[in-house]
Amino acid sequence: MGMTVKDLSTDKLLVSPSILAADFARLGAEIERVCEAGCDLIHVDVMDGHFVPNISIGPPVVKSIRKSTDLVFDVHLMISDPMTYAEPFVKAGADHITFHLECTDTPEAVIAHIRTLGASVGICLKPGTPAETAFLYLDKVDLILVMTVEPGFGGQSFMADMMPKVRALKDEIKRRKLNVHLEVDGGLDASTVGAAARAGANMIVAGTSVFCNPEGAVRAVAVLHEAEKELY
C-alpha cells in the first residue's frame, strides 16, 4: 500500500480525474497524460449494473493500470455489496475506497472492514440523501463524497442545488475540527468548480472536462486548481 487519501492535505484543492471519461483503448497512456498534467489522484468509478444502471470496470482493470502511476487510486464503489468487493479492489491496487451509505444497513462494519485492508475510507451520498445522514460517520472516515449528478453515467450536468448539502457537511467538519476531505463528483468543469470550492469541496472529480477537454489536460487541470483561492 502506497499513499492513501489520509496523506493528502484537506487545505488544498485536489483534482481527481475520472477514468470513466478516458479512452479505454489506451487507458494506461490516458492516465499518464493526466498525471503529467498535474492532477493529484485518479478517480476510478466502479458500477455493478445493480446499484446504478450501468456497468464499468472490475479489479482486473485496476490491477492493469496500477503500473501507470504512483498517485492515489480513489476508487468509488457504486455497487450493492461493498463488503464483498472492497478487498479484491484493494488487492488490485486501490489506495482508497468510497462506498455509498444508501447500499448498506451497516456502514460502520463496512468502514471497519475497509480499514483492516489498509485503505483509507470514504462514504458517498446520492443527490436525494440529506447531509445529516453522514454526520454520524464523519469522525470515522477520511472522505465524504457528494454526488452532484445521479450516479451511473458520466457527462451529466452539475446539480447546483447540491451546494447547500456540501456547505452543511463542511460546516460540520469544521465545527468538529476533523481532517476529512469533502469531494464532489458530477458535471465539474471551469464553470462549476468555483461554486463547489465556495461551498467547501476540496476534492474535485472531473471526467469529461479533463480527458475530453479541447484545450488539453494541462489547461483543464490548471483551471480546476485555480479555484483553490475560492476554497471555503
* Residue positions annotated with a catalytic role: 45, 185
Enter the DSSP assignment of 47: E
Helix (H), strand (E) counts: the chain: 9, 8
β-bridge mates for residue 90, sequence order? none
Q: Do the beta carbons of residue 149 and residue 127 sit within 8 Å?
A: yes
All cell numbers assigned to 177 = 475540527
Whole-angstrom CA distances from 65 to 29, 69, 75, 93 are: 9, 8, 13, 9
Q: Measuring CA to CA, which residue among 124, 117, 146 is closest to residue 78?
A: 124
Q: Measuring CA to CA, which residue among 34, 40, 29 is closest to residue 5?
A: 40
Enter the DSSP assignment of 86: H
Q: Do the beta carbons of residue 137 and residue 147 sit within 8 Å?
A: no
Enter the DSSP assignment of 76: E
Rg of the chain's alpha carbons, rounded to an integer?
16
β-bridge mates for residue 17, sequence order? 206
Phi/psi of residue 46, nearest 5 degrees: -110, 120
